[in-house]
Structure 1
């Protein structure tokens, strides 16, 4: 009993996702397990566990309001002196977004670790219990507090900044553009609920229809999922100028999953021309995370100079 009392207490926040899902009679998988159900499946760990049932959603259906609610709940647990670390159970589709938001909003002095699963709880190769056990282990390691928010998945421990999902069907599903330990990033604590950031796909021969639609819909900012190292065409350049004239920041990311973006190409529609038109290149973050960072910057009423620096490659 005395040994049990000295074990660290880890808060496990359940939000839904594949890790909490089972396949129904019609063949569709939906979140159906509570936090206590999931913890009962975990191999023995050297920690006391406190389940928190926050929501039960597929992460594809999460809004910025939902992500903010998760971030606020993490803050509540970090402020509890009894809690030694926090684990968030989350769907993989949007894990990279919520993990970055939590990383931006909270200067952590305790480990904060996201995890989930690629296979449902009733799948013969269910990976949730093993992922959760490793995440709990990471959340009890005090050294991880200085590493910022982490993602523990498929046996890897990755930093939130630059993390991305690389596979839809492999258990080792995530990689990061940054090695663990690079935690320098803006601290942006203003709630992002209500901010609208649209992602617009760029492809050969595209026009500016979707950018104009975003402007007409009242978007606060736009992220371009551009080509190569951040390139588009002449029609997109003109649309970016219209955004700049309207005070709507445009961030250029890439549909290519890895590599640093450099605004070097001209020709009337390259990355250099986008920058001249007023766009800001996201040197590391890909569209999903660029959207979250821009939302946090706009919520904080950041000036253009701060937005530009936040997307630079100094992290």
Structure 2
């Protein structure tokens, strides 16, 4: 990954309590549910797109950062999750085409919302609109994060910490799973990755009843504090107590929100006009293909009919002879 700036995107509890979603009347439970739902979309789509875990971790952190700046009422969680996956795949040098991301999210939406599993026609206006929305939302993410896309997930610290502490091998997988689950919470925008890594190591050790040195405390060697580690464990415990999340429609407009319409730049208008032109060209191309296919079918039918008539006439001539 290309590092563009230092990792300084952290918020206080007061700032999170006064998030843009809260100001728009969305309660804490709904915001938490939508955050978890969006991160689940990022994780599941990454698996379907065969992306490494680093891409999914980057996408989820970008997702949380964006909704610290914007409201769920202004930007639909599904569109933002798709754009985060697309942007993260490019940042982590495992790029996927926009077509692949759109198709995967379309299939997931049909399955999760019990919609008919229909094929998404790449020549349709719906696909062109989805592609335009994917690009526009990606630009909003870059704009709100100030193009600071440096992400440092806690996963990279876990092997080092466990090797220094000389823990048993089974602790590594448990700590890794807890680190994956921590990305579904706001821990990534509250604490540094080193602190989150200490928290998941501590939680994994408690679960497997593995003693860790406390005199002196082991977390001091990794720039951690006991209060912060306890908070990480508390947030993870609360996460596991929540039921399975469902999509909650809180966006004001399902097609184009007020914030999107207000913040759309001149370049995005040009992109939309180009997409419309491309849609018309694709539509004409598809019509030409349909006409050619019908013409070829008619020609084949006429040829088969001519051959049948020729065989019949030959048979009648043979009988007469």
The reply to whether TM is greater than 0.5 is: no
| TM-score under structure 2 length normalisation | 0.23
Flag the structure with higher strand content: 1
Q: Which of the two has higher C-alpha Rg?
A: 2
Flag the structure with higher helix content: 2
| TM-score under structure 1 length normalisation | 0.23
